[in-house]
Amino acid sequence: MTAVPTAPTVPLPPASGAWREGDPPGRRQWYVRDGPLALEAGGELPGVRLAFETWGRLAPDRSNAVLVLHALTGDSHAAGAAGPGHPAPGWWDGLIGAGRALDTDRWFVVAPNVLGGCQGSTGPSSRAPGGRRWGGRFPFLTPRDQVAAEAGLADALGIDRWALVAGGSMGGMRALEWAVSYPERTRALLVLATAAAASAEQIAWADLQLHAIRGDPHWRGGDYHDAGPGLGPHAGLGLARRLAHVTYRSEPELQARFGRAPQGAEEPWQGGRYQVASYLDHHAAKLVRRFDAGSYVTLTEAMNSHDVGRGRGGTRAALSRVTARTLVAGVDSDRLYPLRQQAELAAGIPAADRLRVIASPCGHDGFLVEQEQVAALVRELLG
């Protein structure tokens, strides 16, 4: 009898995809804050640590530093290959390096992992004072809190003023907060695919994702990090990723790539699946192995709280604080952060040039995909 070959067994994912002490550090360095961080919503966060990566060399007069800020499921690994300690390749790899728009022979590029994240910075998967993981006890953060932590990193590096602060989506929120909170420390600003404040629809999409994660029986109120393989809230995080990914891409792109095509020989009514469903499954499966559900919740809630005008007399008054030379750009097919939101920013920032439009079929993800167009904006700002 001929033996029937069996498919290789795929190991169960760990309860959390967060980086942990003892994992390979990769290119990470760490900044540890001296003292607790006061939080906008009240209270404080003790024991703040940020993972960050750098490329290039800081000039003697410290005038060549560029701050690059990642989006929701990004991290400090903005450039370079995947490898030990880095589960994914650099998300802006085409922009950073010798001869590229952020030429590391000229510029000193700094990319921190956001406070509340899961790739080396203090977040829900980190151990709190006393040794227990923060888990569901991790405090509510806003983008202002995250930028205040990043300002401490800049101080530790001896950087009084950034030559450029750049970011898209959640990174764009923080870039905008840098220019409003610390105008004297931001010489140039590149804000991509973001808004002055999270809109009702953006909060609604995010709320669906939060419900998906919190509704997973393995969520356990956020205290799941030391559970065994396969026992994290993977179904909830995977569903959140599927929901989010649909908003990140455009309808015409999904139709052109997948249409109604089945995955494999069997049609869906014969027990098969649609290609687009398999595509979403693929992205969900990747995320649960490299990200943490608690960080996803913390960062999503921070994005929902984003309002640059809060406590500053409204959006117009807040944007008037920006003194940096500014370019605001949006993606023409972005249905999550539509161009009207970037137009509001461009109109409200005194030093902003006209709104720039990134042409892409890829929707919100265009600020990551269309790196040549983003590179042109970077070169325009940096000269």
Cβ atoms of 345 and 177 within 8 Å: the answer is no
pLDDT at 200 over 80: yes
Sheet with 49-55, edge to edge strand ranges = 29-32, 49-55, 108-112, 65-69, 164-168, 188-192, 325-331, 356-358
Q: How far is residue 32's CA from residue 50's CA, in Å, rounded to a whole number?
A: 7
pLDDT at 2 over 70: no
Mean pLDDT of 338-365: 96
Which of 152, 203, 205 lies closest to 181 in space, CA to CA? 152
Which residue type does 310 have?
A: R
Gyration radius from the chain CA atoms: 21
pLDDT at 1 over 70: no
Prediction pTM value: 0.96
Mean pLDDT of 194-215: 98
**DSSP-assigned letters across all residues of 207-225:** HHHHHHHHTSTT-GGG--T
- pLDDT score at 267: 82
Q: Would residue 364 show up in a list of annotated catalytic residues for this protein?
A: yes
Distance, CA of 164 to chain centre: 18
Q: From the candidates 16, 169, 181, 360, give the one annotated as an active-site residue.
A: 169
Beta strands in the chain (DSSP E): 29-32, 37-38, 44-45, 49-55, 65-69, 108-112, 164-168, 188-192, 262-263, 273-274, 325-331, 356-358
Question: Beta strand 188-192 with 164-168: parallel, antiparallel or unpaired?
Answer: parallel
- pLDDT score at 266: 78
Q: Would residue 218 show up in a list of annotated catalytic residues for this protein?
A: no
- In which band, very low, low, confident or very high, does the pLDDT at 8 lie, cut at 50, 70 and 90? low
- pLDDT score at 10: 78
pLDDT at 375 over 60: yes
Tens digits of per-residue pLDDT, 267-316?
878 778 999 999 999 999 999 999 999 999 999 999 999 999 999 999 99
Q: From the candidates 145, 334, 360, 365, give the one annotated as an active-site residue.
A: 334
Residues 6+ apart with CB under 8 A from 313: none
Tens digits of per-residue pLDDT, 58-101?
999 999 999 999 999 999 999 999 999 999 999 999 999 999 99
- pLDDT score at 3: 56
pLDDT at 128 over 80: yes
Mean pLDDT of 209-214: 98
Which of 153, 174, 146, 165 lies closest to 51 in space, CA to CA? 153
- 39, 41, 45, 48 alpha-carbon torsion, rounded to 10°: -50
- pLDDT score at 7: 54
Domains of the chain (ranges, CATH numbers): 29-198+307-382 (3.40.50.1820)
Mean pLDDT of 349-357: 93
pLDDT at 35 over 80: yes
Cβ atoms of 196 and 348 within 8 Å: the answer is yes
pLDDT at 5 over 60: no
Mean pLDDT of 185-194: 98
**For all residues of the chain together, what is the average pLDDT?**
96
- pLDDT score at 175: 98
Residues 6+ apart with CB under 8 A from 372: 94
- In which band, very low, low, confident or very high, does the pLDDT at 357 lie, cut at 50, 70 and 90? very high
- pLDDT score at 264: 84
- pLDDT score at 120: 98
Q: From the candidates 70, 77, 225, 364, give the one annotated as an active-site residue.
A: 364
